[in-house]
Every structure is written in structure tokens, then in C-alpha cells.
Amino acid sequence: MSHLEGSAPDLAGAAIAPAPGRPAPDAGVVEDAPRPSGQTAVMELDAIVVTFGNRRVLDGISLRVAAGEVVGVIGPNGAGKSTLLKVILGVIAPESGRVSFPALNLNGRRPGSLVGYVPQQFAPDPDLPLRARDLVGLGLDGHRWGFSLPNPSRDARVSEALELVGALAYADAPVGRLSGGELQRLLIAQALVSRPRLLLLDEPLASLDIRSANEVVEVVHRVARDQRVTILLVTHDMNPLLPVMDRILYLANGHAALGRVDEVVRRDVLRSLYGYDVDVIRVRDRILVVGDELASGDAARRQHH
């Protein structure tokens, strides 16, 4: 079951991204994914295909994102959400397709520090002798051996990142004693300290309480709006993020639907992705997506957030 919150849809057509040389899923919608216009894309995926064993995880996924845009990636477990981030990072090489960064002027080089990444949240040892500002500083020189020497420029960059996420108040606190929300802010600051143009977040709200999740959402919004950083985030729970997301990329069965929430979270679009009937139910400004999948002749209930 997927829980999404937002306004009632306007029934605009969402885009289904088909694999090259294969027909688009039968949803009665356009084939070309909607793309930002009027500016060079920060990042572009062109017909990305990834196969694990006999399973096609990503089947011709295309996406183009502009500066300052926030795009959420949603789908059931195993849909390829984290795999997509790893393809962008260069950790996984796609079977076919291309990843490019047109606005970054790389001239064939890897994007390096121009792409920030926050993996799924980790829990540090409570006795870890590392201050909050030290953790953020690892985003600048954590790849180097040994301790960093005093450097006013480095210290200023760290303080800038801490201020951006609202974490200056506990900059000298031990990271092992911080709350989940405070730690998540630090991980975002660590990814931002190198001043990237693209920020990838993998489950940034996992295990956070409602208040902490809302605070992290505000950080995401502020970074995209004020710093013009493009943000692509993977999440199971879209509710807190809907007010700040420009578009969502909904992954299922290797395919994707891309558009605004009211364009994508529709019965016809999701049926084309899952390959079976789903219900989209609106209750008190929340959208519930419920579907039954037939597997080996038995009805199997699949749930995701």
C-alpha cells in the first residue's frame, strides 16, 4: 500500500518511459517524458537499462532535471530506486543508455564533487569521538589519509554547510549523541560542503519522527530554492515531501511514470506500470494506492510507502 498526500488530480497525462525498440505500456498516455524547458539540464538519463540475472530492473528509464528542481523517486521494494542513484553515481554501469551532466561542463571528466550523495541513514557508535563539524568536514577531505590541518578556508566551508541545514547550534556536539533528525541534517551538510550542483538522497526520512521529517523536508526545500541545487531523492513515504517536490518518478516492473503527483498517481497510469488493477483512494487529502498482484494463481497483497 502506498500512502501519498496531495490535492485531487487534474487528470493530465503522465509520461510512461518505454524501453528502446519496445512499445510503451498500454496506458493511453504520451510516450515522451515531460522535460524542463528553457535551460540546460543539470543531469540527463537517456534510456537506462540495468539487468540483474534474468530480471530487468530498469528498462529504458529517461529523465532530465533542471537547476533547483526537486524530483522524488517512489516505487515498491526492489523497483530499482537505489539502483538508479548508483547508476547516476557511476557505481553501477548500465547495460545500455547514457548518463550525462550537460550543465556541468565536464568535458569528459567524472562529475566528482559536483554530485553530492547521502546514503541511507547510519547509526554511529554513541561513544564515537567525532564532532558534528568533523563529520561534515569529511565531505571535503575524508578521502585523504590522516588528520586535517587547521585551515580557515575549510572551516568556513564547514560552517557554511552547517548553517545551510540549521545545524550550527550543535556543531561541536558528539555525533553519537545526536537524534536521528540532527544526524540526517549533518549528512546532508556533508554532501553539500563541496558545493555540488546535484544532490542525491536515499531514504532521507527513514526512521524519523514526524517533526524531524518535516524539518528535513524544509532543509531540502531551502537548499533547492536558495542554492539552486537539483535534488533527486528516493523515498517510500512521499507524504511529507509532496509540498516541495516538483515532479515524481514512479518506478515499477522496470518502467517509469514521470510527472506531477496529480499526473502520475492515477489508476490508469499505475495500472500500466504494475500490470494489474490498482485503486487510487483519496481520504482527507491523502491518496492511498492499493493493488493486488496475481502470482502463481494466488492473490498477493504488496505494500509500500
Sequence length of the chain is: 305
Considering only residues 263 and 16, tell me which one the structure prediction assigns the higher pLDDT: 263
What's the chain's average pLDDT? 79
* Residue 157 CB contacts under 8 Å (≥ 6 apart), including other chains: 140, 193, 195
Please report, for the domain that includes residue 170, its CATH number: 3.40.50.300
At residue 148, the pLDDT reads 58
What 3-state DSSP class applies to 58? Answer: strand
What value does the mean pLDDT take over residues 216-238? Answer: 91
Alpha carbons 129 and 60: distance in angstroms, whole number: 46
Phi and psi torsions of 74, nearest 5°: -130, 155
What value does the mean pLDDT take over residues 211-236? Answer: 93
Alpha carbons 82 and 75: distance in angstroms, whole number: 11
Alpha carbons 7 and 129: distance in angstroms, whole number: 46
Considering only residues 67 and 303, tell me which one the structure prediction assigns the higher pLDDT: 67
At residue 64, the pLDDT reads 95
User: Where in the sequence is the domain holding 269, given as residue range(s)?
Assistant: 2-301
Inter-CA distances, 188 with 59, 79, 233, Å: 30, 24, 12
Q: What is the pLDDT of residues 154-210, one digit of tens each?
A: 899 999 999 999 999 999 999 999 999 999 999 999 999 999 999 999 999 988 898
Structural domain count, the chain: 1
Instruction: Give the rounded percent of residues in the chain with a pLDDT score beyond 70.
Output: 77
